[in-house]
Each structure stands twice: as structure tokens, then as C-alpha cells.
Structure 1
Amino acid sequence: MGKLYVIGIGPGGLEHMTIKAQEAINESEIIVGYTKYIDMIKPLTEGKEIFMTGMRGEEERCKEALKLSKDKIVALVSTGDSGIYGMAGLILELRKDEDVEIIPGLTASSAAGAVLGAPLMHDNCNISLSDLMTPYEKIKKRVRNAADGDFIISLYNPRSKGRPHYLRECIEIIREFRDDNTPVAVVRHALRDGQETTIFNLGNFNEEIVDMFSIVIVGNSQSYVKDGKFITPRGYKLC
């Protein structure tokens, strides 16, 4: 009897993976994933059968993982959390009677938040600016509603060559509801080699440094920077 583990490997370094994720990969006979994700966990894949695809191969990977899991133990891996912009949803949509277990991982906003300090201490939301799955008009509506609700906003997939203006337009929407002194941080390669962090405010934000390896975190009306750390107060009474 086979089994399929759908695993979020976090930012990519083994030290940031959960023990459960590592145990599931060790137990698995076959590892399925995007080429770069497999490379990130190479020390755990020795002696295992590997099935890799390139970008845009998500459906192929999921179908192959489900097929292989009929009689083998399979790990389908993706960065971050498999249930947050990962493979968990697609697997469950395609699943028939396969034994599937979802194993969470550290998502990009949490990783970037730890690097920055404590920006996500109050109500917050994740919004992807990629329009591959969601129409851009709906993305802008979500950004507007989150800004109006004073949520801390983490922007995933913030800027690509095909849509360089989306981030700028969404920042302008947020500025309708937030003071220009509101902190905005860009973290590139959070908790990975080559990590870069820059903190702006809404009034002087420079989207030119942002790419698809970045996550952008916009504070709420209470957020501020202290000693280089991005903080959103939770509201505890300080003595």
C-alpha cells in the first residue's frame, strides 16, 4: 500500500524544515518536485528515485505523484508551506482514493517576518500579485479591501518582467489608506543564501529592487521601525 506526503520544505535550508518533513522525505522511496526544489534538499534524496519537472509543470507533477503513490511511498515537495500557494490544493482536487498526508512548512511571509523583526504581530494577510490564477482586477480589489481593513499585507510574487507595474499600482492603492511613513520591507531570498533586506516607507518605496525572489511586507497603521527592526504592536499594555 502506498502513500503520498505533500511537503512544504520552507525556505529551502534543511535547518528550517520541520522534523516531520525530514522524516517523511527519509521514509519516501520517490521524491517528486520542481527541479530547483529537489536541489535544495539534495542531502535527503540520496538513493531515492527522483521525478522532476520545470516551471509550469505543477499539474504533471501532481498527477505523477498520485500515480506513483498507488504502491510506493512518495514525497511531493515545494518550498514554503504546501497549503499556501503550494501543491496541497491541486493534489486534493485530483485525488481519488490515494492516501495523502499534508505536512506544513515555513511560508515566505513568516520567514521574512523573522528576518525583519516582528512585522506580523497583528491581523495580516497574504496576497499574490501573480495573475496566472487570479484576474488582476480581483487582485487589486483584495489589496484595496486589505488596506481599508488595516491589515498588515504580505505581497507574494510581487514583480516580474511581464507585469512590472502591478506592484507600483498596488502600493498606490495602499497609500490611499495609509500614512506615507508606514514601513514597507523587501526581503529577497529570505533565510537563504544571498539574503537581502531593505526597509522603506510608503512615501519613498522603490519597486525597482523587487523581483520574484522577493516578498514585500507593508505594515499597518501602528507599525514602526525601532533600532532597524520592523515592529507591529500587538497591543500589550507596557509597564
Structure 2
Amino acid sequence: MTDTAHSPAATVSFGYEDIAEEEKEARVGAVFSGVAKKYDIMNDAMSAGMHRLWKDKFVRRVKPQPNEDILDMAGGTGDIAFRMHKHGANVTVSDINQDMLDVGIERAMERGLDGLVWSRQNAEELSFPARHFDAYTIAFGIRNVTHIDKALAEAYRVLRFGGRFFCLEFSTTEWPGFREVYDAYSHKLVPQIGQMIAGDAESYRYLIESIRRFPPMPAFETMIRDAGFVNTRVEPILGGLVAIHSGWKI
């Protein structure tokens, strides 16, 4: 008699909750559709405006050049793309969430910015051909991907040889004292701020919890190397509260 028992279904993290991996994309999508119109206001509220400085620093590290082709993944509202566009780069803004892209397109129109390409894409299965971009950027997005290793493999695939990968993401600060203060603030106050500004405490609770479940800086750097990137580097900000990760395809 053969054993017909099935192995347990694969699970992934959704904040502090473990869910079936096929559910995550839809649930993350619902979070970002719900907060899209208030996303940038909430970023200001949650970071006291510091996210703008982090993004400025991030783009300085990317060093966008005139006429080079850059894919800004999970770039929905355009914050990173607008900064790189100023340097003359040809930027393709991609996001899995159309609501986020719609906010970005509206913001670009308000600023009179044309020349940006907007494309709905799944970071794990990009439709672009191999060796298509000179740089790949992703800011505060990779922790929401179901399979981070697949997203990194796709980043490697679509980059040309000599191309560079840059990721800006929350991590865990290693500064004693500050870590405890930030933990208390983020877990207790951020959902309340989300409720007041966006009428949505649960989505912001997930966003904070997803930071806690994201791999620590050394582990994520190892994942980037495992995807094939070399000369990897981690630049902690505020002791690692945020970090800029980079690598090269050669």
C-alpha cells in the first residue's frame, strides 16, 4: 500500500504571521493598494522625513548617468525614479501593484516629467530580456517579495555585464538603546499613525512586522552573493536601521 500523505504546504512570513506562500502576493498587494494614496505622507510621518535623506544618499551611491538604462523595481510612487531621471538616465519604473504605479504616474504628470517608462512587473518573473539594464534599484520593496532569492536572480539576469545592483532596505539597528526605543515606537505608535493618517492600522502593522522578519544585513549580503553578484557591500545607516546593499555583475 502506497503512502498518500502529502507534505506540509510551504509557508512564508507575512509580518509575524506564517501563511501559505501562494497567499502572500495577494495579501501584500492588498496592503499596498490600501495605502497607495497616502504612502508618501506616511513615510514622512513614520521616519520624521528622514526617508527623503536616505533616498538622496541611495541615488548618490547609484550614480545614475545620462542615457544609461535603469530598472527601478518596486518603484511605484516614483520617489527614486524622479531622482535618477534628473541625471538623464532612462528609467523604467516597475511595480507589481498597479495602484502604486498609478500614484507615480499621476505625480510625474503633476511635475511635468515625461520620458519615464511605467511597467507592471513581478520582481520574481520579469518580462524584460536578459542583459537589458545598466543598473537595477529597489528601495523598501524587496522584503515584501515572496521569494527574495528569485527576485535577486532576476535582477542578475536583466543586468548587463558590468551592471550594478543597489537595494535600500530597513534592517535592524545595532546601536544599543536606540534599538529598544525604535522597537517601542514602531510597534506601538506607527499603527496608530497609520490609523490617523490613512485610516489603516493593520497595513502599517504588517509593514513594521515585515521589517522584523527580514534577514539581518550579513545574511542578506550572502543572498546577494549567492545570486551571482560580486564586490558586494553593505552601508548601514543609523546603525543598520536602514542599509544600502550593492553588488556588481561581471
TM-score bracket, normalised by the shorter chain, equals 0.3 to 0.5
**TM-score between the two structures when normalised by the length of structure 2:** 0.33
